[in-house]
Structure 1
Amino acid sequence: MKRVLFLTIALILSLSLSVYAHPPGNIEMSFNNENNMLEVTIPHNSNDNSKHFVKNVKVYLNDSLHIEQDFIMQTNNEVQYLHYMIPGAKSGDTIRLKAECNKFGSRENEINVE
């Protein structure tokens, strides 16, 4: 009986947490070859962008960690905007970005440099 009660409480707590916490949305990225600039938009809705936000971003160039940045809040309550210069990126390279929420979940996306 105690085990069933414990599992029920754990399930209720995990479901209630997921209502308020969610991973970042679909990451949009574009790379400008002229200035080696990666432009990133990470949708992530929050009622308070200083308490629920994109906390960490990692940028990989050809599966090698190139940039890692931690945040204490995001740009606004809807989105995190980022710009990164990636010197040495050339046609055929792959850029992958992983964004992590401070409450729950993460999302990845990748693009190929043309």
Structure 2
Amino acid sequence: MKKVLLLTVVLMLSLSLSVYAHPPGEIEMSFNSENNMLEVTIPHNSDDSSAHFVNDVTVSLNGEQHIDQVFIMQTDEENQYLHYMIPGAKSGDTISLTAECNRFGSSEREITVE
């Protein structure tokens, strides 16, 4: 009986914590070929952007990782804004980005350079 009670309590706690954690939203990306700049907006709502935030962003060019940035807080309570220079990116190349929440989940996006 004690095992069932303990399991129930653990399950309830884990479910209640997941309510406050969510992955980043749909990532918006655009690449400016004139200056090789990648502009990124990562939607991620949080009541406290220093406690619940996008904590890791990885950018790859044609499947090869070029950037891995770790954060200690988010730009604001709604979004993480980023600008990255990607030298050598040319028309037809693929840029992919993965954003991870410090509590739960991740989102990915991929674009083709025009």
TM-score (norm 1): 0.95
Q: Which residue of 1 aligns with 2:108?
A: 108
State the superposition RMSD in angstroms: 1.0
State how many pairs are aligned.
114
Q: Which residue of 1 aligns with 2:76?
A: 76
Q: Are residues 1:92 and 2:92 paired?
A: yes
Q: Matched residues, percent identical? A: 75
Q: Which residue of 1 aligns with 2:11?
A: 11
Q: Which residue of 1 aligns with 2:26?
A: 26
Q: Structure 1 stretches of 5 or more lacking a match? A: none
Q: Structure 2 stretches of 5 or more lacking a match? A: none
- 1:18 to partner: Cα distance: 1.0
Q: d(CA) in 2 for partners of 1:92 and 1:11?
A: 48
Q: Which residue of 2 aligns with 1:66?
A: 66
Q: Which residue of 2 aligns with 1:55?
A: 55
SS at match of 1:92: coil
SS at match of 1:6: helix
- 1:31 to partner: Cα distance: 0.6
TM-score (norm 2): 0.95
